[in-house]
Chain A
Amino acid sequence: GESVGLHLPTLSVQEGDNSIINCAYSNSASDYFIWYKQESGKGPQFIIDIRSNMDKRQGQRVTVLLNKTVKHLSLQIAATQPGDSAVYFCAENMYSGGGADGLTFGKGTHLIIQP
C-alpha cells in the first residue's frame, strides 16, 4: 500500500505569500525524503531533500521540515511566485541495504498562485 500521503489536493495562495505543503508518511523506517515539483507536461523536478537524522533543511526560498515523532514532512516556499505553480510531491526512500531503491510518492498537492 501507499506509505506516503498528502493532506490537501489543492492549495491556493496569493503571489508573494509563503506556501506550506504538508505530507504524512507511515513508514517509520524511511530514512530519506524528497520533494519534487512537476509542471504540466514535464517530469518531476528535484526541489530539496532531507535525511532522517535531520529535522530541517533550507534551500533557496524553500525549507523542508521533518517531524519524525508524528511522521510529518512539510515544504515551505517563501515569497511564492507565478513560476511556483505546479504539483508538488513528497517521496520517501527506505534504504534497504541493497543499493538503489525506488521512491514511493505521495498523492501530490496542486499549488495555485493567485495574482
Chain B
Amino acid sequence: DTEVTQTPKHLVMGMTNKKSLKCEQHMGHRAMYWYKQKAKKPPELMFVYSYEKLSINESVPSRFSPECPNSSLLNLHLHALQPEDSALYLCASSQGLAGVGEQYFGPGTRLTVT
C-alpha cells in the first residue's frame, strides 16, 4: 500500500468555525508533512513531524494547529481562519530516515474559507 489518504476532499468553513483535516498512511513511514498550495503556485511546507514529534514549523500562524496522534495519522486543526487561507492542503509522508527525501503525497483537501 503506497497511498496517503486525506479527508475530507472538500471543506467549506466560516471564519468562526473549528474544523479538522485528517491524513493517514500505512506504509510504516515515520515522517509526515503538511503543505499548503495556492492556485497555480507550488506547494509550501507548513509542518514536519518526525517520529510523532513536531520537528519543523515554518512560522505558520497559530490558527493552524497540527497533531500527530500516532505514526499513521496526522491532523490539522483549523480555527478562526481567514479567506486568504483558502487553498489545497496536502499531506505527505516519507520513511523519515536521515537523508531519505522521497515524499508520497495525498490528493489534498480543498479548503474554502467564507
**A interface residues (Cβ-Cβ under 8 A, vs B):** 31-32, 34, 36, 41-46, 49, 89, 93, 95, 97-108
The reply to whether B98 and A49 form a contact with Cβ atoms under 8 Å apart is no
Chain A's nearest CB lies how many Å from the CB of B53?
A: 10
Closest 4 A/B residue pairs (Cβ): A100-B31, A105-B42, A102-B45, A43-B105
Q: A31-B99, A99-B50, A99-B96 are in contact. Are A104 and B45 (CB under 8 A)?
A: yes
Cβ-closest chain A residue relative to B49: A100
- Inside 8 A of B104's CB, which chain A residues have their CB? 46
Verify B42–A99 contact, CB threshold 8 A.
Answer: no
B49 to chain A, nearest CB (A): 8
Contact of A102 among B30, B33, B98, B105 (CB under 8 A): B33
A3 to B10, CA, bound (A): 31
Residue pair A32, B101 in contact (C-beta under 8 Å):
yes
Interface majority SS (helix, strand, loop, mixed), chain A: loop
From B4, B42, B55, B92, contact of A89 by CB (8 A): B42
Chain A residues with CB under 8 A of B42: 89, 105-108
Task: Please determine whether A45 and B31 come into contact, CB atoms closer than 8 angstroms.
Answer: no
Asked if B56 is at the interface of the complex by the 8 Å CB criterion, the answer is yes
CB neighbours (8 Å) of B98 from chain A are 95, 97-99
- Shortest distance in angstroms between A105's beta carbon and chain B's nearest beta carbon? 4
Give Cα A103 to B103, complex, Å. Answer: 9
CB distance from B83 to the nearest CB of A (A): 21
Q: Is B25 an interface residue (CB 8 A)?
A: no
A44 and B55 contact, CB distance less than 8 A: no
Q: How far is the CA of A31 from the CA of B99 in the complex (A)?
A: 8
Q: Tell me, in angstroms, the Cα distance from A97 to B107 when the chains sit together.
A: 29
